[in-house]
Amino acid sequence: MARTVLHGLGASPGVAVGRAIVVREVEASGAPPDQAVALAALEQAAAELGRAAAGLRNAGLADEAEILEANRLMAEDPSLAASVRELAARLAPAEALREAAEGFAGVLAALPDPVLAGRASDVRELGRRAARIADGSAAQPLAEADSILLARDLGPAEIAELELGEGRIVAVALIEGSATAHAAIVARSLGLPMAVAFGTDLAAIAEGTVLVLDGEQGVVSVDPGHVELEEAQETLRQGSRRRRALAGLRGLPTETLDGRRIVLLCNAASLPEIDAGLAAGAAGVGLLRTELAFLEAPAWPTEQQHRAVLEPLLAALRGRVATVRTLDFGGDKTPPFLDRTPERGLALTLAEPDALAAQLRAISQAGADARLRILLPLVESGQQVRAVRSLLQDSLGEEQPFELGAMIETPEGVRRATEIALEAQFLSIGTNDLVSSTLGLHRDLPLASAETAADPAVLAHVVSVVAAAHESGITVEVCGEAAGVPELVVLFVGLGVDELSVAPARVDLVRGVVRALSAERSGALARDALAAPSAAAALELVRSGEAGDELREALEGLGGVRARG
């Protein structure tokens, strides 16, 4: 294909330069029908998904591992197996598998709920995977130099299994796909630039063609000229200089130019995440999600089971802040034994006081050497915090060597923030849930949802919670995804938030942003943002104002990010 630029949609930011490497679509094999081969391939596909999930979990990507776990369960769905069995009576195994998956995908794609509809791509991945196993073909083409992988569509596990990095896969471009698919979420978490929805023009690119991909703009430049190639390579060099410059600030205080200290913590659910956060200089963990280890549990976890999970995690946090959240089951984090429960978070565990007491005892014992804080999810009244306090007194006595905090994640929690702040020793704002419950959005919508936290209605909630906490003389943390988004960091600092708890991969960035800001100017900007007509307008205010210049300088990683003692 001659020099040209193809336009798709950005799905995971970043620029990459590499040679095209093409995932070939498996052709009809003409093999005879064989139900046993088809069903065995489906089983093996489930096992592969389980392994890919474990890989992500070990890499510290617990949420992404959950996506693959859910897909593994889908592979084990008896109705899918029944459909495969029926089709495999008359079709070649690979075709039966693809067709069964396509049937399920079609049903999902037609659903009005965008999140369920987005699962269609995951079912198709399962069909492709099982068909490939039945056919005995290779999983992915092997990259021997920096390569940009071109495919019709890829699922989240296929992204997770790619060999990434220099000399391997450096970006992905898809004929189909969507920026909101699970594959895009996994690509973003892995820092893999990806662009999607190019249509069939992408299929015309020959193997080995030099490409420049911009995953933010959703553009692929085919066979770029010398100048464009040099520009892309300079962008890459700048990116790695920026990361090095931000990492060079580790060990320096997370403090604004006018001297306001922010406590910088990380979110975690596993040991690799804790290790990564501490290595980046987080002061400890601001949110340890405990429910993720028990999403497959057949019953409420026992005290021993909690201790087995918590002890290695909290041992790594000896002497540091360890904010352990009690089980936040419900919603999209519902284990089979709680199927169809309408409750979530603290309301759900308060209805099972023995189970809650068992976890509280386990946390307090496993965290004895850490600066322990216990955090309650989705708190909506002071009475709920009092109920936990009395459980604690019953099971641990008067001596409770930890602080008890409350997460504010709903408009009702915000409305009652003052009475909650009177009972709690710190507050934490969960913007993932607060954004969705305030604006009526599904919380699984793409990362852009972190930016929707700039909606003035959400910012007004943050103002109320900060005021309630500070009037009671306690601190307030933000621990949703928005805490790791530079523009939101400006607003949260401006609104008086004391602590930010972010994904381990964002710790360096957030420190760099805070150190480039003036708390006073951020305050003025946040007040303007509160009066903006929309999240987009509030973000634009941040980007175009003085803080925008400070941010740009900080993010460029040169000049603006100065080492200070």
Q: Of 505-544, which residues contact ligand PEP (CB under 6 A)?
A: none
- Residue closer to ligand PEP by CB (options 221, 431) is 431
Q: Do the bridges between strand 321-325 and strand 371-376 make them parallel or antiparallel, or are there none, so unpaired?
A: parallel
177 binding partner (options Mg ion, ligand PEP, none; Cβ < 5 to 8 Å by kind): none
* 261, HSE (Cβ side, Cα atoms, 13 Å): 6
> Residue 430, interface with Mg ion (CB under 5 A)?
yes
CA–CA dist 269, 323 (Å, integer):
11
Q: Considering only 156-164, 248-256, 379-387, 429-437, which stretch makes contact with ligand PEP by CB under 6 A?
A: 429-437
Let me know: does 115 contact 59? Beta carbons within 8 Å.
no
Let me know: does 321 contact 352? Beta carbons within 8 Å.
no
Q: Which of 135, 153, 380, 433 binds Mg ion (CB under 5 A)?
A: 433
> Residue 409, interface with ligand PEP (CB under 6 A)?
yes
CA–CA dist 186, 199 (Å, integer):
22
Place of tokens 């009690």: 326
Q: Of 185-204, which residues contact ligand PEP (CB under 6 A)?
A: none
Binding to Mg ion by CB under 5 A, coded x per residue (else -) over 397-416, reads: ------------x-------
Q: Which of 48, 146, 328, 380 binds ligand PEP (CB under 6 A)?
A: 328
> Residue 432, interface with ligand PEP (CB under 6 A)?
yes
Q: Considering only 114-122, 426-434, 460-468, 488-496, which stretch makes contact with ligand PEP by CB under 6 A?
A: 426-434
CA–CA dist 291, 335 (Å, integer):
9
71 alpha-carbon distance from chain centroid: 17
Count of residues near ligand PEP by CB under 6 A:
10
Place of tokens 């498996």: 26
Let me know: does 345 contact 377? Beta carbons within 8 Å.
yes
- Residue closer to ligand PEP by CB (options 197, 417) is 417
**How many helical (H) and strand (E) elements, i.e. helices and strands, does the chain have?**
23, 16
- Residue closer to Mg ion by CB (options 430, 545) is 430
Let me know: does 214 contact 10? Beta carbons within 8 Å.
yes
> Residue 479, interface with ligand PEP (CB under 6 A)?
yes
Question: Closest distance between Mg ion and the C-beta of residue 291, in Å?
Answer: 10
Place of tokens 């069903």: 39
Q: Considering only 11-19, 288-296, 298-306, 423-431, which stretch makes contact with Mg ion by CB under 5 A?
A: 423-431
194 binding partner (options Mg ion, ligand PEP, none; Cβ < 5 to 8 Å by kind): none
542 alpha-carbon distance from chain centroid: 24
> Residue 431, interface with ligand PEP (CB under 6 A)?
yes
CA–CA dist 417, 498 (Å, integer):
16
Q: Which amino acid is at 27?
A: E
Question: Which residue ranges make up the site for Mg ion (CB under 5 A)?
Answer: 409, 430, 433
Question: Which residue ranges make up the site for ligand PEP (CB under 6 A)?
Answer: 287, 289, 328, 409, 430-433, 479-480
